[in-house]
Chains A and B, each alone.
Chain A
Amino acid sequence: MTTTRGVLELDPGKCTSCMLCVRECPTWCMSLDSHQDVDPQTAALPRPRIVNVLDDFRIDFARCMNCGI
């Protein structure tokens, strides 16, 4: 083998809690909890943005098949 499918990893700073990965996962090995909150950068504005905030992200590596989604 000269290629790899890489490693499953979460970058919390980039995750928008969109649930796409959890829904696409063929083995149901991921779970994600999130809530909605005011974006701190826009909190002082008249109409602050509401963003998803990641609470919990779990991967069951015993189930993960490194499918590369």
Chain B
Amino acid sequence: MQRVEPADWRACVVASMGDGYAQFVTLMGVEFDGPELWLRLRRGDTDELVLTTTAAGAIDSIIDLLPQAAWYEREIAEMFGVDFRGHDTAPLLLAAGSGAPMRRDAALDARQTTAWPGEKEPGGAVARRRQLPPGVLP
């Protein structure tokens, strides 16, 4: 796995393709401290390379290099709120104004009106502190 600075993202993909990693496998969005991109490329039958970068702000699109990444970039743009420069990701999957539901700080509508079963304490004890599941804001 190779960690890449966001500014070098596109240049690194170009370099990796020049090294023979020209087959697109997948592009994933993952959130740890912020949204990240994980790009998996393949050379030959089994040799794979994973490039990762943070994508908190805008990042260069790679769809002119790897057209297969277009739908993945769209999903990441809509689900994680990542802005891909050079790729029109006007919402198609989600209704406008849905926000970025895969981000940790996103409130999921259905979870605001339903009681979380995990709120109870073992044995019916009184909770020391209130725990919250993903998708529910304090």
Contact = CB atoms under 8 A, between A and B. Distances in A.
Nearest to B131: A23
Nearest to A24: B118
B120 interface: yes
B123 A31 contact: no
Interface residues of B, number: 13
Interface in B102-125: 111, 114, 116-118, 120-125
Contacts of A35: 123-124
Interface residues of A, number: 19
Interface of B: 111, 114, 116-118, 120-125, 131, 133
Interface stretch (A1-9, A14-22, A39-47): A14-22
Contacts of A19: 118, 120-122
Contacts of A51: 123
Give the dominant DSSP class at A's interface. strand
B90 to A, nearest CB: 30
Contact of A17 (B111, B116, B123): B123
Interface of A: 16-19, 22-23, 25, 28, 30-36, 50-53
Contacts of A30: 117
B117 A28 contact: yes
Task: Enumerate the 7 nearest inter-chain pairs by beta-carbon distance, A residue then B residue, closest first.
Answer: A23-B118, A36-B123, A52-B123, A31-B117, A22-B118, A22-B117, A52-B122
Contacts of B125: 36
B40 to A, nearest CB: 22
